Amino acid sequence: MRRSYYAAHVYMIVGVLSGLFYREFTKIKDFSGETQLALMHTHLLALGMIVFLVVLVLDKVFQLSGTRLFTAFFWFYNVGIAISTGMMGVHGILTVLGRDEDHISEAVPLTAGLGHILLTVGLILLFVLLGKRVSEHARRPEATETKNDQAEATSG
């Protein structure tokens, strides 16, 4: 669970700093057009901070961490975010510096695509693990009800 908390915290910090960088860098360069730097802030906060806060809650309920699937999800997803938002930053900086789409290497969007693939693999792994845990949880309601009934009988 700590991993998810720390990841959410790091993404919060990096997300806020990327918004600050976007604002100050475009101001210094007197840039007023559209740039992918504007999207980094929300991507880091939504895909990073918010997703890991949700995973933290799911982990508390379904005990996700500590499994190989969770570890695989965690690393695929984080590397995917790093590559995707990193390429957003590179593309955005090049745009602010005056490069148009024709003068930005094709490697930038191709690498960003790789990041999106890794994000997708991470999400698939998370849903496979979550599906297993939900199925296990659904098979155990009788045991939970029996414990609740016993607790009520001893307290009443």
For the stretch 35-92, pLDDT in tens is 999 999 999 999 999 999 999 999 999 999 999 999 999 999 999 999 999 999 999 9
CA 126 to chain centre: 11
- Summarised one tens digit per residue, pLDDT across range 92-126 is 999 999 998 888 899 999 999 999 999 999 999 99
Q: How confident is the model at residue 124, as a pLDDT?
A: 98
Tell me how crowded residue 13 is: count the other CB atoms within 10 A of its CB: 13
Q: How confident is the model at residue 140, as a pLDDT?
A: 80
CA distances, 143 to each of 60, 138, 140 (Å): 19, 11, 5
| pTM across the whole model | 0.86
Nearest to 20 by CA among 48, 41, 35, 36: 41
Is residue 11's pLDDT more than 90?
A: yes
Domain residue extents for the chain: 2-139
Q: How many CA atoms lie less than 13 Å away from 76 in the CB half-sphere?
A: 17
Is residue 131's pLDDT more than 70?
A: yes
Q: How confident is the model at residue 81, as a pLDDT?
A: 98
- Rounded CA separation 113/50 (Å): 22
